[in-house]
Copies of this chain bind each other. A is one copy, B any other.
C-alpha cells in the first residue's frame, strides 16, 4: 500500500459515513416520527463527531506529505487536490470556533423561524449579528489575509471570486430589470384555475422523473415540505410536494430535483465514494437542476408534451391548447418570494441577496440597517414595496444557519445553464422535435457525457468551459431569456 492508497482507503470510509449522514437527513424530512427528534439530534451529533475526527486525523496530513504526486494520473491528482483543500480548510478553522458556529447556528434557525412567524426582524437581528461575526471570523481564518467573502464563497464554489460575480451580475441586473418591465407592461396570460388531484400529481411526477432519466433503481421519490435531492452514487433520493391548485409546483420541483439527482447518479462509477464522486460545486449543481427545469422542462416543445400528459391525468382543466399552456407555465407574476419566482425574475431576487450579504461581511452594511436596505433594493428592482418581513428579509433560512456566500451560486448556476444550453442546442439541432414527444434523452445524454460523468475531476469553471466551449459569461442566459420572453409576450 502506498501513501495514496492509504489516503484513499481512509477517504472512502469517510465518504461512506458522510453518505449515512445524508441518508439520516433524508429520513428526518420524509419518514422520521416527530417524537424522535431529540434522539436523532444525538445520533447526528455522534456521527458528525466521528466525521470531524476522521477529516482532521493526523494520519491524513502524514499521507498527504508522503504521496508521490508525480506518480499519479489525472484522477489521482484531482483526488489529491480535493483532499488537500478539505484538510487545509479543517486545519485553518480552530475546533472551538467550528463548535461555536455549529451551536449558534443550530439555535439561530429556531430564532429565525419564530421571528419570521412574527414578522419581527428586530427579534432576529442580534442572532444574525452573532452568526455573521462568527462566520466572518471563520472567513478570516480561511482567507489568511485574502478576501473574506471569497473565502466564504470557496466553501460552495471554489475558484470563483466575489469580484467576478459582481461583474457578471452587474451586467445581468439592468437587462433583467428592463426585460421584466417590458413583460409586465404587456398583456398577461391567464392563470390555472382548477383542482388537480394530488395522488394523480404524484403519479405523473414519477413519470416525469423517469422521462428525465432519473434512475429509480438507484433512487426514489417521496413527499416533503421542501423539495430536495439527497445522496450520491448508487442511492440518490428526491422529494417533491403537491398543492391542489398548483400542479406546476409539484412537477417543476420534481424536474429541478431530478437535475440535481441525475448529476449525482451519472458520475463515472469508478469515482464512487471518492472526492470525485460528488457534484463539483453548488453552481454547477444548480446548472443541472435549472437546465432540466427551465431550458428543457419549460421549453415550448416539452410543455406541449406535458400538456397532453396533464389532460390524460386530469381531464379537461380549462386550458385550450399547447400555446396557451406554454404561456401559463411561463407566466411572469408579481411576488415577494424567491423560491416562487419565475425564470425571468428569479435572478433579481438572488442578486439582491448577494449584494447585501457582501456588504454585511465587509461592514459596509450593519445588521441594524439590513431590513431597510432590503426593502429599498426590493422596491427599486420590483417596483412595489415589501409588505412584511416574512415576505422580505426574513423569507430565507440561509443566513440563520450560516450559509453566507451560498446565494450567488443559484444565479451562477443559471448563468452556467445558459452556456450549456447554447452548446447543447448546437450539438442536438433537432432536440425540440424529440422534446415534443417527451423524449429528453438526447439532452440528458449530452449533459451526462459532457458534464455529469466527470464529477469532481475538473474545477467548476473548467468543466463548464470544457462542456460549453465558451468562457462562462451571462451573455447566453440573457440572450435566451430575451428571446424566450419577447416571443411569449410579443415584445
Contacts and interface: CB of A to CB of B under 8 A. Distances in A.
A45 B16 contact: yes
B220 A38 contact: no
Interface string A35-56: 1111110110111011000000
Contacts of A16: 39, 42-43, 45-47
A344 interface: no
A487 interface: no
Contact of A49 (B13, B31, B32, B47): B13
A20 interface: yes
Nearest to A54: B50
A26 B171 CA distance: 51
A33 interface: yes
Given A27-B23, A46-B17, A35 B218 contact: yes
Contacts of A233: 39
Contact of A216 (B17, B33, B217): B33
Contacts of A220: 31, 33
A272 interface: yes
A3 to B, nearest CB: 20
Interface in A35-89: 35-40, 42-43, 45-47, 49-50
Interface residues of A, number: 39
A273 B20 contact: no
A11 to B, nearest CB: 11
A31 B218 CA distance: 11
Contacts of A43: 16-17, 19-20, 23
A487 to B, nearest CB: 40
A12 B42 contact: yes
A220 to B, nearest CB: 6
Contact of A33 (B34, B42, B219): B219
Interface string A4-23: 00000000111011011001
A39 B19 contact: yes
B32 A235 contact: yes
Copies of this chain in the oligomer: 2
Contacts of A12: 42, 46
A215 interface: yes
Contact of A36 (B37, B218, B273): B218
A35 to B, nearest CB: 4
A373 interface: no
Contact of A23 (B19, B24, B38): B24
A234 interface: yes
Contact of A50 (B17, B27, B37, B218): B17
Contacts of A27: 23, 27
Interface centre among A12, A235, A272 (most CB of B within 10 A): A235
A36 B39 CA distance: 26
Contacts of A46: 12-14, 16-17, 20
A273 B36 CA distance: 13
A17 B234 contact: no
B36 A235 contact: yes
Contacts of A219: 33
B24 A20 contact: yes
Nearest to A41: B16
Given A13-B46, A20-B20, A39 B235 contact: yes
A301 to B, nearest CB: 30
Contact of A40 (B13, B32, B38, B235): B235
Interface in A201-260: 215-220, 233-235, 237
Nearest to A30: B31
A88 to B, nearest CB: 24
B273 A42 contact: yes
A199 to B, nearest CB: 13
The 3 A-B pairs of least Cβ separation, nearest first, read A36-B235, A35-B217, A16-B46
30 contacts: A12-B46, A13-B46, A16-B39, A16-B46, A17-B46, A17-B47, A17-B50, A19-B39, A19-B43, A20-B20, A20-B24, A20-B47, A23-B24, A31-B31, A31-B220, A32-B235, A33-B216, A33-B217, A33-B218, A33-B219, A33-B220, A33-B237, A35-B218, A35-B235, A36-B218, A38-B234, A39-B233, A39-B234, A39-B272, A40-B234
Given A20-B47, A33-B237, A36-B218, 11 more contacts: A12-B46, A13-B46, A14-B46, A16-B39, A16-B45, A33-B217, A33-B234, A33-B235, A35-B215, A35-B235, A36-B234
